[in-house]
Amino acid sequence: MILTLNQRQRRPRQGMVLFEVIIALAIFAAVAFALVTALDSSFGAAESRLDIDGAVRSLNNQLALLNAARVLPGDRDMPDDGSGYLYHVSVTQEQMVDQHNIPLQNMLRATITVTWQSRGETQSRSVSELLFQP
């Protein structure tokens, strides 16, 4: 069988097209894998940020409840409110003086710590505030 010049050039080109398609698919797979990894990381970061935001809002709510009631010095755990957050309250007497060096009475420092589980890890945040109770 005698091949013409046109047929000889076509055969290597057909093999080259298959090789180019394989290379293109490999590049596409690498880019797709990188995008999926980036999206997973961004969704994880967003989930963590939402957990922290919820914890900060719950701390503010607990602090508002603490300001509304009479507080005594001591450490105690708050009852579970069903939110998945656990609270610990520490109230200590604060020794303060005014500009004339006269001691101020009934000044308390309240510290509330919230703890929760996020992506298998224990997270916590705290807030502290001075309270005056006449």
- DSSP 8-state code for residue 100: T
Q: 10-34 in b/e burial notation, b at 16+ Cβ within 10 A? A: eeeeeeeeeeeeeeeeeeeeeeeee
Does residue 131 carry a pLDDT above 60? yes
Residue 41: per-residue pLDDT: 94
Residue 6 has pLDDT above 80, yes or no: no
Residue 123, CB-side half-sphere exposure with 13 Å CA sphere: 17
What per-residue confidence (pLDDT) applies to 46? 94
Q: Which residues pair with 110 in a beta bridge?
A: 91, 129
Q: What is the pLDDT of residues 77-104, one digit of tens each?
A: 988 778 889 999 999 998 888 888 888 8
Q: What is the pLDDT of residue 67?
A: 86
The structure tokens listed for 92 are 């200590």
**pLDDT above 90 for 76:** yes
Average pLDDT over all residues of the chain: 86
pLDDT band at 16 (very low <50, low <70, confident <90, very high): confident
Categorise residue 122: left if φ over 0, alpha if ψ from -120 to 50, beta otherwise: beta
The Cα 113–Cα 23 span in angstroms is: 55
The tokens for 52 are: 């922290």
Average pLDDT over residues 6-17: 60
pTM above 0.85, yes or no: no
